[in-house]
């Protein structure tokens, strides 16, 4: 299935779940899903015979707080690309899905409503692979995955302070007596 067929299918099965649909000719087509319907949509994507997304490839956290608009570059003669969507919220989570049996891919973006305590429902119940991916996103970007069975830091030390990939992260000056100046 191509992107439009997948998007149609989801819109048909989950009315009101798709908030935005950025298809061709964008370089990286994606669907923006509302946070409330994320788990349901993912369950469909996983279980539906034709969609059959068996693999969750990655979970990515985004911090848009220092974003400035920039038009994507196009080669001479190509038709201009649509203007990029400006950020909906400060934090958002991006999911990449792959179907091996159907040989198609999908990108799902979900905005986090709260800028202070960004949160998303966990997908560990659908994709076991989400466990460590969500832990990494929590560790580095501080996105709280609600319902995650074991949301601990995975890369940084357990007593680390802050979430390093946030744009307003302050570098430590010292760690356990080792100076970082």
Partner 1 sequence: MGILENSLEENVLTTSVDRLANWARRSSVWPMTFGLACCAIEMMAVGCAHHDLDRFGAGAFRATPRQCDLMIIAGTVTYKMAESIQRLWEQMPDPKYALAMGACATGGGPYYKYGYHVVKGVDRIIPVDIYLPGCPPRPEALMDAIMALQAKIDRDRVIRKRPGQVLEA
175 binds partner 1 (CB under 8 A): yes
The answer to the question of residue 154 lying near partner 1 (CB under 8 A) is no
d(C-alpha 121, C-alpha 108), whole Å: 14
Does residue 66 interact with partner 1 by CB under 8 A?
A: no
Q: In this complex, which beta carbon is closest to partner 1, that of residue 100 or of residue 161?
A: 161
Is 75 or 176 the residue whose CB approaches partner 1 more closely? Answer: 176
Among 27, 70, 76, 176, binds partner 1 (CB under 8 A): 176
Does 172 interact with partner 1 (rule: CB under 8 A)? Answer: yes
Checking DSSP bridges between strand 30-33 and strand 18-22, what pairing results, if any?
antiparallel
The residues in 9-28 that bind partner 1, with binding defined as CB under 8 A, are none
Binding residues for partner 1, total number by CB under 8 A:
11
Give CA–CA dist 13/41, Å, rounded.
9
Choose between 146 and 157: whose C-beta lies nearer to partner 1.
Answer: 157
Alpha helices in the chain (DSSP H): 3-13, 38-47, 130-141
Are 39 and 14 in contact by the 8 Å Cβ rule? The answer is no
CA nearest neighbour of 97 among 33, 146, 154, 143: 33
**Binding residues for partner 1 (CB under 8 A):** 156-157, 164, 169, 171-172, 175-176, 178-180
């Amino acid at each position: 299935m191509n992107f439009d067929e997948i998007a149609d299918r989801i819109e048909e099965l989950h009315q009101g779940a798709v908030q935005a649909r950025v298809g061709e000719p964008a370089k990286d087509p994606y669907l923006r899903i509302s946070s409330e319907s994320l788990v349901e949509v993912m369950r469909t994507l996983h279980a539906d015979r034709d969609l059959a997304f068996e693999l969750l490839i990655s979970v990515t956290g985004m911090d848009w707080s220092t974003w400035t608009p920039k038009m994507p570059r196009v080669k001479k003669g190509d038709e201009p690309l649509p203007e990029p969507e400006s950020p909906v919220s400060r934090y958002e989570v991006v999911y990449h899905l792959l179907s091996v049996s159907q040989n198609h891919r999908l990108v799902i973006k979900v905005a986090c409503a709260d800028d202070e305590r960004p949160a998303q429902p966990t997908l560990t119940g659908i994709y076991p692979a989400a466990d460590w991916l969500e832990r990494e996103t929590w560790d580095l970007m501080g996105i709280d995955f609600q319902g995650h069975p074991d949301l601990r830091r995975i890369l940084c030390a357990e007593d680390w302070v802050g979430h390093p990939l946030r744009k307003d992260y302050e570098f430590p000056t010292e760690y356990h007596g080792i100076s970082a100046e």
